[in-house]
């Protein structure tokens, strides 16, 4: 089954919106370099941008909203089902853990 180009573009735009919203919460934080994330977004490498954002946010105490945006992006890209086939911890796995932890704090 192939998606038509318009549906694919709509999906990319929705996913990018979630990634941009998460990235916006990191903007202006000290010692956070978003240049790699921006480059991946410019080249429509959404999965790599997701990985960067999870990595950047991993050691920060970010609000639930940050992780919710990344969760929506992961769902759009079907990263959770892909993570089930990996024997190692993925960015999607880390996103789920942080989402759960942030949900408990709120």
Q: Is the pLDDT of residue 52 over 90?
A: yes
pTM: 0.84
Encode pLDDT of 3-33 as tens digits. Answer: 688 888 899 999 999 999 999 999 999 999 9
Report the distance separating Cα 25 and Cα 101, nearest Å: 18
3-state SS string for 66-96: HHHHHHHHHHHCCHHHHHCCCCCCCHHHHHH
pLDDT top residue among 82 and 59 = 59
Report the distance separating Cα 91 and Cα 83, nearest Å: 9
Model pLDDT, residue 84: 66
Residues 83 and 92 sit within 8 Å (Cβ to Cβ): yes
Average pLDDT estimate for 69-77: 95
Model pLDDT, residue 2: 57
Q: What is the CA radius of gyration of the chain?
A: 14
């Amino acid at each position: 089954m192939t998606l038509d180009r318009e549906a694919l573009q709509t999906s990319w735009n929705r996913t990018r919106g979630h990634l941009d919203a998460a990235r916006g919460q990191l903007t202006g934080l000290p010692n956070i370099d978003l240049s790699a994330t921006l480059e991946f977004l410019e080249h429509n490498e959404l999965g790599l941008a997701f990985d960067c954002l999870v990595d950047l946010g991993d050691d920060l105490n970010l609000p639930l909203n940050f992780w919710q945006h990344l969760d929506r992006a992961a769902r759009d890209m079907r990263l959770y089902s892909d993570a089930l086939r990996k024997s190692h911890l993925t960015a999607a796995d880390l996103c789920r853990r942080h989402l759960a932890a942030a949900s408990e704090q709120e």
